[in-house]
Amino acid sequence: MPHGAVFSRMSLCPSLVEDSVKAFKVAAKAGNGKLPIHDDPHECKDGYLPHWHIYNRSGGHSFY
């Protein structure tokens, strides 16, 4: 999903934006300041959440 669509959807829920920003910062710090990659939930099931990866998708996830 393009980042514009992600942030457009999140504008409907301010707390989701705040949580995404926090998760983004965690992923950026883990990736030594490089731009993180956003992912929507991988499945439409309970327990699958939107998240950020570090720049090269290695390591873990920063869920929100």
pLDDT at 26: 96
The parts of the chain modelled with pLDDT lower than 70 are 1-13
Domain count, the chain: 1
pLDDT at 1: 45
Cα–Cα nearest to 25, from 54, 45, 46, 47 = 54
pLDDT at 12: 57
pTM of the model: 0.74
pLDDT at 9: 53
How is residue 53 written in tokens? 């990866």
Q: How far is CA 32 from CA 38, 41, 45, 49, in A?
A: 16, 24, 32, 24
Boundaries of domain holding 32: 3-63
pLDDT at 34: 96
